[in-house]
């Protein structure tokens, strides 16, 4: 049974609406969110301000944003239980992001892997990529969550957020709760199907290593069947020596909600072909369910209503928190 308000711990997380939603996002983030919604008070948002750190075609951004919110719901998030909102609808995020950006050092921001990876590519990068964690810190600290469920790649950002919260609290007195990153043991880092030593990402140049949730289902099944594995033919979980099959085992385990050990037992002595066929079927069924629901949600004005309601709820908390911060740091001068 769902516990009531005061007794529930709070969770917050977000996803950027850049590119199409991948199986990595689904397994590492969206599916865990759905599993937490009865246990926690949840705030889930679309990080559309963060998406501006890389140029987005306006029409694509609009489409990807609507797709993402519809996918959250299609995957099972219930807007009656979870507060779903757009980051840009709550103006306080950007303002708190500015204050927190003034409290983080250039050294700390330079150590962020996401920034370092982008820099290593030697392309021209905007200042937004560098300053990105400050806005993320604001997204999180604004709502005093106990936990921030994220994939492995975002853990470093949440750890920086903890440092900044502690810094603020010790400089200005207790203001923010120190959040904990929550990375699922299985599925926290889904790998590229063609190169299982690399994270599955939205920008998959060849196109065969990443599964997109809204893609043609037959194409996605094919990608599973042609995923790179190894030649020893034994279905066993060993991410270091058998990254391909281990990645598929993680995907399978999350999709059917069974342990990896259990799946290993079931497929003991069976070949990769049979395993991949079964996984392709399971994935196909899950995608079909999500896509059917997605199309229902996309027609009509349901999404707009959900976002409006979510923004109203989020704004109440955000306004209060920002006012508190501004009083503490000396920005507010009015007595009343």
| Catalytic positions, written as ranges | 118, 199, 202
Does the footprint of ligand TYM cover residue 200 (CB under 6 A)? yes
Q: Which stretch binds ligand TYM (CB under 6 A): 2-10, 147-155, 253-261, 324-332?
A: 147-155
Size of the site for ligand TYM (CB under 6 A): 24
Does the footprint of ligand TYM cover residue 139 (CB under 6 A)? yes
Q: Which stretch binds ligand TYM (CB under 6 A): 133-141, 168-176, 213-221, 314-322?
A: 133-141
Nearer to ligand TYM, 178 or 331 (CB): 178
Which member of 11, 29, 287, 314 binds ligand TYM (CB under 6 A)? 29
Question: How many angstroms separate the Cα of 332 from the Cα of each of 96, 102, 202, 318, 322?
Answer: 14, 17, 42, 16, 11
What is the per-residue burial (b if ≥16 Cβ within 10 Å, else e) of 278-302? bbbebbeebbeebbebbeebeeeee
Q: Which stretch binds ligand TYM (CB under 6 A): 52-60, 148-156, 267-275, 324-332?
A: 148-156
How many CB atoms sit inside 10 A of residue 123's CB?
8
Query: Are 195 and 209 spatial neighbours (Cβ–Cβ below 8 Å)?
Result: yes
Which member of 60, 108, 153, 180 binds ligand TYM (CB under 6 A)? 153
Looking at the DSSP bridge assignments, the partners of residue 180 are: 147
Residue 136 Cβ, how far from ligand TYM at the closest point, in Å?
4
The pattern of x and - marking residues 40 through 79 that bind ligand TYM according to CB under 6 A reads -------x--x-----------------------------
Nearer to ligand TYM, 136 or 248 (CB): 136
Nearer to ligand TYM, 25 or 131 (CB): 25
- Return d(Cα 49, Cα 209) in angstroms, integer: 27
Does the footprint of ligand TYM cover residue 188 (CB under 6 A)? yes
- Return d(Cα 120, Cα 129) in angstroms, integer: 13
Does the footprint of ligand TYM cover residue 118 (CB under 6 A)? no
Class of residue 173 by CB neighbours under 10 A (exposed 0-12, middle 13-18, buried 19+): exposed
- Return d(Cα 193, Cα 207) in angstroms, integer: 10
Residue nearest to ligand TYM (CB): 28
Q: Which stretch binds ligand TYM (CB under 6 A): 187-195, 227-235, 244-252, 328-336?
A: 187-195
Q: For residue 40, what is the enclosing H or E element?
A: strand 40-46
Q: DSSP of 267-301, one letter per residue?
A: TTT--HHHHHHHHHHHHHHHHHHHHHHHHHHHSSS
- Return d(Cα 301, Cα 247) in angstroms, integer: 38
Can you give the binding site for ligand TYM, defined by CB under 6 A?
Answer: 13-16, 24-25, 27-29, 47, 50, 136, 139-140, 148, 150-151, 153-154, 188-190, 199-200
């Amino acid at each position: 049974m769902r516990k009531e308000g005061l007794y529930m711990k709070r969770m917050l997380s977000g996803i950027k609406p850049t590119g199409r939603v991948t199986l990595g996002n689904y397994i590492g983030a969206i599916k865990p969110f759905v599993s937490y919604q009865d246990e926690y008070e949840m705030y889930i948002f679309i990080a559309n301000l963060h998406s501006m750190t890389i140029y987005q075609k306006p029409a694509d951004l609009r489409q990807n944003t609507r797709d993402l919110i519809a996918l959250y719901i299609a995957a099972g998030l219930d807007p009656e239980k979870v507060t779903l909102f757009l980051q840009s609808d709550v103006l306080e995020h950007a303002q708190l992001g500015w204050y927190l950006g003034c409290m983080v050092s250039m050294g700390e921001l330079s150590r962020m892997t996401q920034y370092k990876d982008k820099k290593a590519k030697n392309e021209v990068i905007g200042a937004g990529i560098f300053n990105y964690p400050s806005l993320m810190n604001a997204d999180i600290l604004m709502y005093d969550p106990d936990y921030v469920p994220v994939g492995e790649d975002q853990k470093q950002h949440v750890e920086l957020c903890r440092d900044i919260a502690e810094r603020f609290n010790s400089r200005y007195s207790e203001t923010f709760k120190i959040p904990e990153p929550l990375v699922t043991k299985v599925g926290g880092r889904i790998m590229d199907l063609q190169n299982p030593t690399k994270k599955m990402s939205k920008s998959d140049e060849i196109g065969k290593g990443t599964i997109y949730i809204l893609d043609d289902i037959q194409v996605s099944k094919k990608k599973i069947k042609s995923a790179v594995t190894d030649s020893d033919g034994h279905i066993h979980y060993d991410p270091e020596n058998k990254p391909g099959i281990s990645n598929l085992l993680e995907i399978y385990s999350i999709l059917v909600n069974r342990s990896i050990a259990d799946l290993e037992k079931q497929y003991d002595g069976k070949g990769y072909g049979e395993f991949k066929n079964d996984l392709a079927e399971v994935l196909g069924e899950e995608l079909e369910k999500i896509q059917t629901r997605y199309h229902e949600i996309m027609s009509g004005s349901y999404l707009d209503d959900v976002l409006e309601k979510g923004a109203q709820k989020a704004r109440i908390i955000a306004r209060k928190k920002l006012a508190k911060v501004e009083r503490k740091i000396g920005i507010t001068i009015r007595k009343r």
